[in-house]
Structure 1
Amino acid sequence: MTDVKSAELVFICFMLLHGFVATLNCTSPTPESLFAAFEKNLFPKKLLRPVTNFSSPTNITISITVVGILGVDEKSQTLSTLLWQVIEWDIEELSWDEEECGTKLVSVHREKLWVPDVHIAEFMEEDNSPQTPYVYLYNTGHVYDDKPIRVVSSCRLVIYTFPFDIQNCSLTFGSYLHFATDIRMIQGTTSEEILKESQDVLETNGEWDLEGISVAPFTLTLDEGSYSEIVYYIILRRRPTLYVVNLLIPSCFLITVDLFSFLLPPHSVDRSSFKMTLILGYTVFLLIMNDLLPVTGETTPLINVFFSISLALMVASLLETVCITNIQYSSSQYSAVPHWIDVLVLQYLAVVVCFPRKKNSNQTTFFSNPYTRAQNSSITNISAFHLQRVSGDTPPAKPQPTPLDPALEELRKLSRDLVAIRFQMDKHFQGSNTMSEWQMVGTVIDRLLFGLYIIFIIASFITIICIWIQTN
């Protein structure tokens, strides 16, 4: 018994030497008595960190709940969220007896206590959430601070796969001033518990889903010292249905209509006017939907590349239609197809688009009249004199021929007229061959662009579907 009393005396002396107050004395179990004890022993020390030894750090336990995702601004690279923040710490020199003071839990105005300067490193705007002036104080000296905060934080947004993008934004909680030797941040609830609770109470604007939350302790080391921090990674997934319905599907419809316009024959239908109307409609569509597209200077979204290539293909098809129409109606006035175009287009590209080149037919006139074959030398010597006679021009004066038999003279005249007609027909067939080659060049180019259209549409659909499946 003597040894027990001696130990108690030693413990009391030890506590008195270190200035530690074990309990608060309440004269009665009433709020007035408890708050009188606070006014005497607790509130005057609110400017000091509540430790018995400055070399020991204060452990700050933090946990959050994501209540709402207010919005994501791609242009300013910010994330707006509404959080419930719970911070807990212990006042080492504080305790009271529950029966003596009448309660084990009391709410105290936060300005009466020392509160840690926990802040979010990614803060971009001042917190304008409703203020909660009170904190809970337990009889063991444990302080429970629960309050809502509206966070506008910076976030590095990657929108290359918009509207199927997944964003990973971080929120770093730590002391603004105190080093790790003074304040040590400790993780509260686990990431699985935070995610489950957040998904139960989450309120969003319908565009974003909370995909996951992960927590990791972090130590920021600087020249002055190191800071203890807790980093929360909030993973968000965009709901793409709105953008698929309003952007991708209408664009695909217009591209498909432009694709089937290649089936219109350019020589009988004004296909260029039809394509010009489609380009005008597609441009108006992009202007109307411009507000739905993300604006950022870091990366170009894949959907913007899709729209640009679609518009470029429409313009290319319009230019190609203009060229083909010009060939259809003016190729008879062109010279022969150049050799390099003949090799590149009619030999190589024609094989690529499965369009076999047609063989040119040589126009040859055969004379079956024996008399004409006998007079071949005289027919060959017919020159411009005979052609001018056929065309109606007055030929130059020539010596009068020796009078011949009238029937023979008429046959010679008829032979000369037939030769002139033959020359005109050869010239006509030669022009027809040139026109046919130019028209074949236009047909090969038209079919080549049609094939590129099909390849682009198939590749775009496969890419969109793969990205969509990968993000789900």
Structure 2
Amino acid sequence: MSYSEARPVINLQTPTNVTTWHIEGLSWDPAECGANKISLPRETVWIPDIVINEFMDENRAPETYYVYVKSNGEVRDGKPFHVISSCKLDIYNFPFDIQNCSYTFNSYKHNVQDVRLSFFKPVKQVFQESLEVMATQGEWELIDMLGEKPEHSYEEGGWDELIVHIVLRRRAALYVVNLLIPSCFLLSVDLFSFLLPPQHVDRSSFKMTLILGYTVFLLLMNDLLPVTGNTLPLINVFFSLCLALMVTSLLETVLITNILCDSNRYPPLPKWIKILVLKYLARLLFMEQKACDQNSEANRSKILVDSNSMTEYSKKESVCSSPVSFQGRCLEEMQKLRKDLLAIRRQVEEHFSNDNRTDEWIMFGQVIDRLLFILYFIFIIVSSITIMVLWLNSSRLDKNP
């Protein structure tokens, strides 16, 4: 066995403390030798086999062939590592998520009785130095580093470990601008489309165009959403809720348009609906019944009075005629006129009855449309506040890993 394979201690019961480590029995006088530090080939010196448990790929950093040894036997290894590791992500708060990636350092050959690990510098100092040397501003922002050393019973064996927690926060500006703001704009346009009169404007076509545009938007922005994680991101729930609200508003528009356009084919409104919707609910929503309904009732009464007077007049004329021949012709003509007036009266009554029924259905549809608009607006506000509270609460919890 070469010297580089043997742990550099005089007594094998003595553990090697690894931050930098010492080669026991190795020292020299710097004044006599003219050097306080020398470099030696890595193959000639024992190097602890420290690994990262979360390591996923081979180290692609440049190789270093030397280690540095001081005159008191202290050895320092400056080999760089390019670490590609696994990290358990919690993407529930995406894009406002904070991730805690842990790295576990330990020896895979020597247990705690042989090799013990400790931090060379305080973790907070390493964190500050890392912030100073980081030049690339990518998707993630380093916000903290925490160190942990699990307690071990040295008599029971096992492997000594050092755990470093790297706390990262995702930069959310890109996702807010490209995902959240366009969704909120489209949802707002869908909300205010309720102000379009459905009996004069094809509101359903407008809403279908919005749904189609929003679907295409989600397909194009799908690459920005995370595809890994243990839970469903809350932003996906937000997108699904937006799409569901748009579809619901489209169904509401179809229903209201059907009521307004085909009301002449519906039976009269039940009395309890007239009282509940047209009287109390309409008043609660600041909607008054149209004055044209009262005018139509007055016109109807006027026409009926005129027809009744004409009928009475025809009867009087038939009685007052004195000549027999002339009386017969007048009576015949008056009877025909009376039949025509009765037919006109029935048509007028049916016309005004249908108009009144149609106006009631139209008023009913307008009241329901405004009620659903207010409920839609309230639901959007409550849902948005709920999602924001969940985001903020979860982010607050993630800051304390």
Match of 1:214 among 139, 146, 162: 146
Instruction: Say yes or no: does 1:260 pair with 2:218.
Output: no
Residues 145 and 167 in structure 2, CA contact (< 8 A), matched pair in contact too = yes
Q: 1:158 & 1:449 partners in 2: Cα distance?
A: 37
Instruction: Say yes or no: does 1:416 pair with 2:339.
Output: yes
Residues 353 and 451 in structure 1, CA contact (< 8 A), matched pair in contact too = no
Three-state SS of the structure 2 residue aligned to 1:169 is strand
Q: 1:373 & 1:436 partners in 2: Cα distance?
A: 33
Structure 1 pair 301/112, CA: closer, same or farther in 2 (3 Å)? same
Residues 179 and 228 in structure 1, CA contact (< 8 A), matched pair in contact too = yes
Identity %: 54
Q: Which residue of 2 aligns with 1:81?
A: none
Q: Which residue of 1 aligns with 2:318?
A: none
Deviation at 1:436, TM superposition (A): 2.9
Q: 2:275 & 2:43 partners in 1: Cα distance?
A: 88
Q: 1:131 & 1:338 partners in 2: Cα distance?
A: 88
Q: Which residue of 1 aligns with 2:353?
A: 430
Unmatched runs of 5 consecutive residues or more in structure 1: 1-42, 62-87, 377-401
Q: Which residue of 2 aligns with 1:157?
A: 89
Q: Which residue of 1 aligns with 2:179?
A: 247
After superposition, give the CA deviation of every residue in 1:419-440 in whole Å (9 maximum; x if it has no partner): 2222222323333333334333
More strand by percentage: 1
Deviation at 1:170, TM superposition (A): 0.9
Residues 254 and 282 in structure 1, CA contact (< 8 A), matched pair in contact too = yes
Q: 1:150 & 1:294 partners in 2: Cα distance?
A: 24
Three-state SS of the structure 1 residue aligned to 2:5 is coil
Structure 1 pair 209/371, CA: closer, same or farther in 2 (3 Å)? closer
Q: 2:52 & 2:281 partners in 1: Cα distance?
A: 62
Instruction: Say yes or no: does 1:57 pair with 2:6.
Output: no
Q: 2:274 & 2:79 partners in 1: Cα distance?
A: 79
Structure 1 pair 450/217, CA: closer, same or farther in 2 (3 Å)? same
Residues 367 and 373 in structure 1, CA contact (< 8 A), matched pair in contact too = no
Within 5 Å, which residues of 2 pair with 1:126-137?
126-137=58-69
Q: 1:463 & 1:263 partners in 2: Cα distance?
A: 26
Q: 1:143 & 1:134 partners in 2: Cα distance?
A: 11
Aligned residues: 379
Work out which structure has the larger RCO, using CA pairs closer than 8 Å and 6 or more positions apart in sequence. 2
Which structure's CA Rg is the greater one? 1
Q: Which residue of 2 aligns with 1:71?
A: none
Residues 106 and 162 in structure 2, CA contact (< 8 A), matched pair in contact too = yes
Three-state SS of the structure 2 residue aligned to 1:442 is helix
Deviation at 1:134, TM superposition (A): 1.6
Deviation at 1:411, TM superposition (A): 3.3
Q: 1:155 & 1:283 partners in 2: Cα distance?
A: 32
Deviation at 1:236, TM superposition (A): 0.8
Residues 14 and 114 in structure 2, CA contact (< 8 A), matched pair in contact too = yes
Q: Root-mean-square deviation (CA), in Å?
A: 3.5
Residues 90 and 99 in structure 2, CA contact (< 8 A), matched pair in contact too = yes
Q: Which residue of 2 aligns with 1:13?
A: none
Within 5 Å, which residues of 2 pair with 1:292-441?
292-296=224-228, 298-337=230-269, 365=301, 367=305, 405-441=328-364
Residues 264 and 271 in structure 1, CA contact (< 8 A), matched pair in contact too = yes
Q: Which residue of 2 aligns with 1:288?
A: 220
Q: Which residue of 2 aligns with 1:17?
A: none
Within 5 Å, which residues of 2 pair with 1:4-153?
44-61=2-19, 88-153=20-85
After superposition, give the CA deviation of every residue in 1:372-399 in whole Å (9 maximum; x if it has no partner): 57999xxxxxxxxxxxxxxxxxxxxxxx
Q: 1:207 & 1:338 partners in 2: Cα distance?
A: 62
Q: 2:386 & 2:189 partners in 1: Cα distance?
A: 21
Deviation at 1:348, TM superposition (A): 8.4
Instruction: Say yes or no: does 1:274 pair with 2:232.
Output: no
Amino acid in structure 2 at the alignment position of 1:112: T
Amino acid in structure 2 at the alignment position of 1:335: P
Deviation at 1:261, TM superposition (A): 1.6
More helix by percentage: 2
Structure 1 pair 153/336, CA: closer, same or farther in 2 (3 Å)? farther
Unmatched runs of 5 consecutive residues or more in structure 2: 316-324
Point out the more displaced range, 112-121 or 461-470: 461-470
Three-state SS of the structure 1 residue aligned to 2:149 is strand
After superposition, give the CA deviation of every residue in 1:165-185 in whole Å (9 maximum; x if it has no partner): 111111111112322111111
Residues 157 and 167 in structure 1, CA contact (< 8 A), matched pair in contact too = yes
Point out the more displaced range, 290-299 or 406-415: 406-415
Instruction: Say yes or no: does 1:187 pair with 2:145.
Output: no
Deviation at 1:310, TM superposition (A): 1.1
Amino acid in structure 1 at the alignment position of 2:72: T
Deviation at 1:318, TM superposition (A): 1.9
Q: 1:174 & 1:352 partners in 2: Cα distance?
A: 72
Amino acid in structure 1 at the alignment position of 2:5: L
